[in-house]
Homo-oligomer: A and B are copies of this chain.
């Protein structure tokens, strides 16, 4: 549990959901991720609020994709998670009185801003559809006898 893997995790969930027809329960998704259903619900909450997925209670309930995979980017998913902090590093003080620290913040800050801008731009360039296509390409490349997408669903 070294770093924040929520974006990685929620993308994993979404791509698995794209392989299902109907709705999928948190429990089944959690089994695919080797984690706990509550963790899945926490991850999905923000996505539901932004209309990327829908959840239904009760019998036959679960999670459903309600967005166009080709119109949702990694950036959208990132925002749905609450735009978590990107960098593990930061300033010692955001509003320093010390002029030395202001100079340090200036140099580091602009570098971090540029890197963040590039990263989020890259996120905006990739749709869930791209990821899904990449997944299917890997499926095909792994041979005709490759495992199914969901071997544990049978």
Q: Fill in one digit per residue for A1-29: 1 if any B CB lies within 8 Å of its CB, else 0.
A: 01111111101100110000000000000
Alpha-carbon distance A114/B98, docked complex (angstroms): 33
A69 within 8 A of B: no
Q: Fill in one digit per residue for A80-104: 1 if any B CB lies within 8 Å of its CB, else 0.
A: 0000111111111000001111111
Taking Cβ atoms with an 8 Å cutoff, the residues of A that contact B are: 2-9, 11-12, 15-16, 32-33, 74, 84-92, 98-108, 110-112, 114-116, 118-119, 122-123, 126, 130-132, 134-135, 138-139, 142, 146, 149
What are 11 A-B contacts with C-beta separation under 8 Å? A7-B89, A11-B104, A15-B100, A16-B100, A74-B108, A100-B135, A103-B132, A104-B131, A106-B134, A111-B123, A115-B116
A87 and B90 within 8 A (CB): no
B100 and A149 within 8 A (CB): yes
Q: A11-B104, A12-B100, A90-B8 are in contact. Are A111 and B115 (CB under 8 A)?
A: no
Cross-interface CB contact of A107 among B5, B107, B134, B139, cutoff 8 Å: B134
